[in-house]
C-alpha cells in the first residue's frame, strides 16, 4: 500500500528507500527524493545535488515509470557493476570508494 499523495502535488519533496536487487527475494537499499521545482525554489541550500528525481508534479505513475526506465537501461556482469550504476542516481547503502 502506498502513502497518500502529498497535499500539493506541484509543491512537495518526498524521500524514498527502494529495495533493488537481482531477484525479488533480496536487494540493497537505495535512497532518493522526489522533488518539484516549486519545492526547490524554497530551498535555501546552494551547492551540489544528487539523489533527486525532479518532477513538475508528483504522481506515483511517474515515479514508477522513471524507476522502470532507469533500471531497464542498466547492464552489468555482476551485482556490484549494476549497483554502482544505480548509485549514480540514488544513494546506495553499501557504497564504498574503491
Instruction: For residues 95 and 84, give the distance between their C-alpha atoms in angstroms, rounded to a whole number.
Output: 8
pLDDT over 70 (residue 9): yes
Q: Tell me if the pTM is above 0.75.
A: yes
Task: Give Cβ neighbours of residue 33 (< 8 Å, ≥ 6 apart).
Answer: 13, 14, 15, 16, 51, 52, 53
Structural domain spans, the chain: 13-92
For the chain, percent of residues with pLDDT exceeding 70: 95
Q: What is the pLDDT of residues 24-68, one digit of tens each?
A: 778 999 999 999 999 999 887 778 888 999 999 999 999 999 999
Amino acid at each position: 500500500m502506498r502513502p497518500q499523495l502529498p497535499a500539493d502535488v506541484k509543491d512537495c519533496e518526498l524521500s524514498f528507500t527502494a529495495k533493488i536487487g537481482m531477484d525479488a527475494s533480496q536487494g540493497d537499499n537505495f535512497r532518493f527524493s522526489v522533488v518539484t521545482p516549486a519545492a526547490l525554489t524554497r530551498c535555501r541550500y546552494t551547492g551540489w545535488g544528487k539523489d533527486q528525481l525532479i518532477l513538475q508534479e508528483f504522481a506515483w505513475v511517474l515515479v514508477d515509470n522513471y524507476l522502470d526506465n532507469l533500471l531497464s537501461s542498466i547492464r552489468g556482469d555482476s551485482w556490484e557493476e549494476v549497483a554502482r550504476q544505480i548509485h549514480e542516481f540514488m544513494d546506495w547503502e553499501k557504497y564504498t570508494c574503491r
